[in-house]
Structure 1
Amino acid sequence: MVQITPLLRLLLTRLTSPELSASSRGLTEKMVLDVIEPAPREITVTIPSAPLLQPIVEALRDDPGDRHSLGDWSRTLGVSTKTLTRVFRFETGLPFTRWVAAVRAQDAIYLLGRGTPLEEVAMLLGYSSPSAFGAAIKRVTGSTPSTFQAVAGQHS
């Protein structure tokens, strides 16, 4: 993720102009590379490869709103929660709930960036309300969902 500063937003908007000459486009692209900065909170999601965790990965891939808890998965997979917790941390570097939150945040950013309405994204990702969704996204990314919608709006 990158920090979308006002200057970067203006430069990206400029790049969408069909009237921009090739030389101006090249200069603007160089300026983008000069001002681009990493976002204060990076969302990196490591997809676990352990066979034990594949049902969880597939369930979240098929339905990002899947509400199974660690205890639910423990019972479904026939292992203790301690074992599942240990394997999850080893494979992803995160506790189960933080990993799920990061997966959902990545999905949210993608959907909001494509112009999907906030209420629809909240529902697809299994949040009880748009406000619960907004609080969860802000907790993970440091930004509100409207920030990602605004960036999408700049490129429409």
Structure 2
Amino acid sequence: MIFVVVGRCQSTEFDQGPHQHSRGQLFGSLQGLPSVGIESGTRVVPAIHAVWLPPHHVHSARSHGPFNGWSAYIAEPACQSLPKQPCTLRVSGLLREAVLRASTWPYEPLNEAREHVAAVILDEIRHLPVETFGLPLPKEPRLRRIAQALIEDPADERDLAQWADWGAFSSRTLSRRFVAETGFNFTTWRQRARLMRALELLAAGQSVTSIALDLGYSTATAFITLFRRTFGQTPASYREHLKRGTFLNAYGDSPPPHAR
């Protein structure tokens, strides 16, 4: 078969060490926040994106908490016109629905109708906009431990000095090394991690006020202000775009639709 889609749903974290496939893989989540490791580093990927991995490309993957997602595996000959390097794609409503339909197919040769759906998925991979590859995770073990803790509990109120003490750093060293390993200062990285979780919670239908409180913002207004500064629209506007399936850019204009 040139095309296989499988689903994965589990109430606990999963953690897959470095491995590779003879097929290309498109990896997406419906619920939960996964991270994918490739040669250039490990990135946290929000559910509104999907990761494309060409055949024979070594990678690792894990989830930060419970996970519900899918993978489309594409035979190597069919990957010739697809991206040659790992990348993150903005998930369209068309891709989302086609993949979910394909995930119900039995493992058998595709009939004509299913060939058409498979062709749609390949065409979406070929033409969807490429997004920035998620949120980078630091490599240094103590920094990675801090980042992991922030992802697992975005509402944690510890400040830079407290995190530095927890990670056995000085505040200055933590600040400097976080920038060196992620390209973001500590505060900005933390904000982006919270906003990634916010996108997931908005797509799940949670209210703006409860999201703000769950993510550790002092008021809903503070959350709305940061969200609008980052995405160019309010959380309520984002939810309306979700319902209509119409988006612009992920960071700067409007974020893309949620893959659910």
Q: What is the TM-score normalised by the length of structure 2? A: 0.45
In structure 2, the CA distance between the partners of 1:63 and 1:118, relative to structure 1 (3 Å rule), is same
Percent of aligned pairs with the same amino acid: 29
Structure 2 match to 1:137: 227
Structure with greater strand percent = 2
Structure 1 match to 2:37: none
Counterparts of 1:136 and 1:43 in 2: how far apart (Å)? 21
Structure 2 match to 1:18: none
Contact in 2 for aligned 1:114/1:152 (Cα 8 Å) = no
Contact in 2 for aligned 1:74/1:84 (Cα 8 Å) = yes
Counterpart selection for 2:159 from 62, 69, 78: 69
Q: Does 1:114 align with 2:194?
A: no
In structure 2, the CA distance between the partners of 1:78 and 1:29, relative to structure 1 (3 Å rule), is closer
Q: Does 1:94 align with 2:184?
A: yes
Counterparts of 1:108 and 1:43 in 2: how far apart (Å)? 18
Deviation at 1:59, TM superposition (A): 1.7
State how 1:1-156 maps to structure 2 within 5 Å: 44-153=134-243
Contact in 1 for aligned 2:212/2:223 (Cα 8 Å) = yes
In structure 2, the CA distance between the partners of 1:30 and 1:80, relative to structure 1 (3 Å rule), is closer
Number of matched pairs = 147
In structure 2, the CA distance between the partners of 1:127 and 1:150, relative to structure 1 (3 Å rule), is same
Contact in 1 for aligned 2:155/2:217 (Cα 8 Å) = yes
CA RMSD of aligned residues (A): 3.3
Unaligned runs of 5+ in 2: 1-48, 50-88, 99-112, 246-258
SS at match of 1:46: strand
Unaligned runs of 5+ in 1: 16-20
SS at match of 1:143: coil
In structure 2, the CA distance between the partners of 1:134 and 1:35, relative to structure 1 (3 Å rule), is farther
In structure 2, the CA distance between the partners of 1:33 and 1:88, relative to structure 1 (3 Å rule), is closer
Structure with greater helix percent = 1
Q: What is the TM-score normalised by the length of structure 1? A: 0.70
